[in-house]
Structure 1
Amino acid sequence: MKLQADRIDGTNAISRHGPEGVIVNGVEHTTSVVVPWKGQVLAWPVSDFAALSAEHFAMVAGLKPELVIFGSGRRIRFPSAALLRPLIDQHIGIETMDTAAACRTYNVLLAEDRPVVVALLFEAAAASPV
């Protein structure tokens, strides 16, 4: 789904999203990704929800946002508090949504000039039965 046509100056706007990935500032990302409001878009080295660890969220916390939006994939799934401890310890807000809602919410907060990060989980497609 196309979200917006133009980049907001100096920020990382998501212009399209779908089950296979997102386009940020004209660049397609088809694996899990961390999109900060400003700065470099980062690969997020997690390929499935069950593999999430506190270290994955510590990477996000290191960007020092006010709020993190976690896009958990096609459906909403909540990580445990133990996984979110790096964010909680730094008093960083966290919201969990499905990836489509996370992309939309991120762009709204970005337009409000908020220091927000979206961490998007894109899981590898399951192999189809033969």
Structure 2
Amino acid sequence: MPHVLLQKESNPSLNTVTAYGEGYLEINRERFETSVCLAPEGPIRTLSLHSVADIDSTLLTELVGLRAAPQDPMAFLDDAPPPLERPDDAPEVVLIGTGSCQAFLPPDVIRPLLMAGIGVEAMTTHAAARTYNILMSEERRVLALLLFGDSA
């Protein structure tokens, strides 16, 4: 795949996917050849993930900042999982780029985010990068987890 330029201009205060190609992304004109997690503001995290199978609910809840909420002492009677507290700055949606092929995460992996009112969308990594830029430019609270490697 040739180098695809997504953004000629970028706002230096926002994390913007500026280009991509086979096996890499450029974010703010810096090249990344490993899986990354980014939001419009804050650090770009590199992750040692190679496939959707490497993603679990613990990782996703940590990335979005969900924390265990105070629990009612009688909650054990409901046989429900403990509630998670959503921070005020939590993303509205998490985009998961699954590599060169679209793959879906198992329902139990994304359930904590959905229960907290956070949408989860899985698509190819390049589609997720483009979608991230659009949502970020609309000032939406978005988090992108972009994988390189196998998607299954």
* TM tier, smaller: 0.7 to 0.9
Q: 2: CA distance between counterparts of 1:59 and 1:19?
A: 29
SS of the aligned residue for 1:22 comes to: strand
Bigger-Rg structure (1/2): 2
Which residue is 1:6 aligned to? 9
Q: Who is 1:65 aligned against?
A: 91
> What TM-score, normalized to structure 1?
0.86
CA shift, 1:72, in A, is 0.7
Which residue pairs with 2:53 in the alignment? Answer: 50
Q: Check if 1:32 corresponds to 2:31.
A: no
Deviations 1:55-103 (A, max 9, x none): 2212322272111111111010000111113312321111111111111
Residues paired across the two proteins, number: 124
Deviation string 1:25-79 (CA, Å, 9 cap, x unpaired) is: 1211111100111111111231222222112212322272111111111010000
CA distance in 1, matches of 2:20, 2:61: 25
Q: Any idea what SS the aligned residue of 2:111 has? A: helix
Following the alignment from structure 1 to structure 2, what is the Cα–Cα distance between the partners of residues 19 and 79?
23
> Following the alignment from structure 2 to structure 1, what is the Cα–Cα distance between the partners of residues 62 and 37?
9
RMSD over equivalenced CA pairs, Å: 1.6
Structure 1 gaps of 5+ residues are 125-130
